[in-house]
Amino acid sequence: MKTRNILATAFFALTLFTTTNIFAQKEKTVMVGGAAMYPSKNIIENAMNSKDHTTLVAAVKAADLVETLKGKGPFTVFAPTNAAFNALPKGTVETLLKPENKKMLQTILTYHVAAGNWSSADIAGAIKKAGGKAEIKTVSGGTLTAWMKGSALYITDENGKSAQVTIADVNQSNGVIHVIDAVVTPKS
């Protein structure tokens, strides 16, 4: 009887392990901020697990954009890391998170979002087609300029500040995230 129970337990464990591995292989995850980003989850579900994007998640919540970024999309998000937010002048993030600055925060955050699913290959193709620089319209109505230096992908905002894409093509159920190393802002 004990042998049968041990064999049944071992069979169950092997089945669970195999099923989990098949599912994990099917979903090509990317590690961001110490967490696997699953293509079956939406932008918010994945971003909430990244230790590198806690400031961005707090800002999205303060701007009431959670439901939007959980929506159908597709969206392309250029996601600044905590280090990118920390590089802003002292007090900037705290000021933006105040309820009275919600509209400004929404504008800055939606400046990091483009409609559609822009993979890094799509962006590189647009850059090549445009002769070295491609414009990407943002949800806020602004423009980002994409360009490459060697194999590195960059975006430049309307003020001339550039951010490098440090992790590209983090696929989501409702779009794609490209992790960037700076906060970009629209022309004021």
Q: Quick one: which of 152, 130, 155, 151 has its CA closest to 76?
A: 155
Tens-place pLDDT, residues 100-136: 999 999 999 999 999 999 999 999 999 999 999 999 9
What is the reported pLDDT for 169? 97
Each domain of the chain, given as residue ranges in start order, spans: 29-180
> pTM here?
0.85
Length of the chain: 188
Q: Quick one: which of 57, 61, 62, 32 has its CA closest to 176?
A: 32
Tens-place pLDDT, residues 131-151: 999 999 999 999 999 999 999
Question: How far, in Å, CA of 42 to CA of 59, rounded?
Answer: 17
| H or E element in which residue 25 lies | helix 2-26
For 29-180, CATH number out of 2.60.40.420, 3.90.226.10, 2.30.180.10, 1.10.645.10 equals: 2.30.180.10
* % the chain with pLDDT above 70: 86
